[in-house]
Amino acid sequence: MNRYMRSLRTEVRYQLWGRSVFLAVGGLTVSLLFAFTGSISNVTARLARLQVTEAQALGNGMTLADAMGHPSNVVVQGGQRMLDNPVRFDYEAAYFAYRALEAPYAVGTGLEMITFLVIPLLFFVYGCGTAVSDIRQRILKDRIVVEGPGPYIAAKVAAVVLVSFGATMLAALLSFGAAPLLKALFLPDLSRDFEYAVDDSGVGNPAVQVAFSAGVAVLFGLLGLFIGLVARSMLIPSLAAGGLLMLMPFTWSYDPRNILTAAGEGVFNYWGGFNPRPPLPVETTFGLGMLYGALVLVALISIAVWSRMSKFI
């Protein structure tokens, strides 16, 4: 076993011993409860709205069959946006909301909210914790002397990447298995035969959804790691990241949140009720390249600064 693998094995053992890995895994697992609670509420609301719309249309002499024979479009009248066929619109919305709790669509239902609201801050905090864990345990000098700076940093990076993909995959598997059970448990009486076909040709691929969410986790996990290596603190960078991610308004097209939201439109279905929209126009491909390019730049600067620190020598 070469020294890089030995360093990675040591890092994994310390993370399991310190339970830092359970921050990422447990955080995503708990957040799935909120994602599916919203999805269940969305199904109830969509079906109830469809019943009301159907009753109103029937009072006007239009049946569901009549409505499904015509497309649903948004028209502008007097400066207001209106639907010319609300019955079909509500039927399709209820159909997609109901399907969101069925496998394999449940994978996207579980991941779509946590990818934008939970994963960035959660994995940034996890990355910071990974960077400063040896300082808190007072074993940094020993590990550097025994393993060497290169293998030590490589092990930290590899651990963050592995945990990011592993936690995201676990969340996807839990979504896949738990959604039908939650549907049967909390929506036993809400069953409807959707007798009319709905075009779902643009449905997202679960594998792509998992890869996208894992990529976001890796991005912010490594960002937290490299910032934590230099800051040597978990609290201050995490508070700053929380304020920037959760409180700061969107002011620039290439804000990371705006870029990821725009990129997510081509990945997720947003059938579960969570439906973010990028507030500013952005070139998605260039924006994603800029994000990961900035991560590489931060990594190079961080490692250069960290390697010149003398506190662990």
What spatial distance separates the first Cα and last Cα of the chain, rounded to whole Å?
26
- Rounded to 5 degrees, what are φ and ψ at 74? -95, 125
Cβ pair 130, 15 in contact under 8 A? yes
- What are the residue ranges in the chain where pLDDT is below 70? 1, 76-79, 81, 190-192, 310-313
Quote the pTM value.
0.90
Q: How far apart are CA 292 and CA 272, in angstroms?
A: 29
Please report the pLDDT score of residue 74 as a whole number.
73
Residues 6 or more apart whose Cβ sits within 8 Å of residue 292: 219
Where exactly are the structural domains of the chain?
3-32+104-307
Cβ pair 8, 148 in contact under 8 A? no
Return the bridge partners of 82, or none.
Answer: 75
DSSP 256: H
Please report the pLDDT score of residue 199 as a whole number.
81
- Tell me: the pLDDT tens digits for 121-166? 999 999 999 999 988 888 888 888 888 889 999 999 999 999 999 9
- Residue 106 is encoded by which pair of tokens? 């449940």
Q: How far apart are CA 166 and CA 253, in angstroms?
A: 31
Cβ pair 223, 130 in contact under 8 A? no
Return the bridge partners of 185, or none.
Answer: none
Please report the pLDDT score of residue 202 as a whole number.
75
- Tell me: the pLDDT tens digits for 132-144? 998 888 888 888 8
203 closest CA partner among 275, 96, 300, 119: 96
Please report the pLDDT score of residue 77 as a whole number.
67
What are the counts of helices (DSSP H) followed by strands (DSSP E) for the chain? 12, 2
Burial of 189 (0-12, 13-18, 19+ CB in 10 A): exposed
* Helix (H) or strand (E) run with residue 75 in it: strand 74-77
CA dihedral angle for residue 171, residue 177, residue 180, residue 184, rounded to 10 degrees: -110
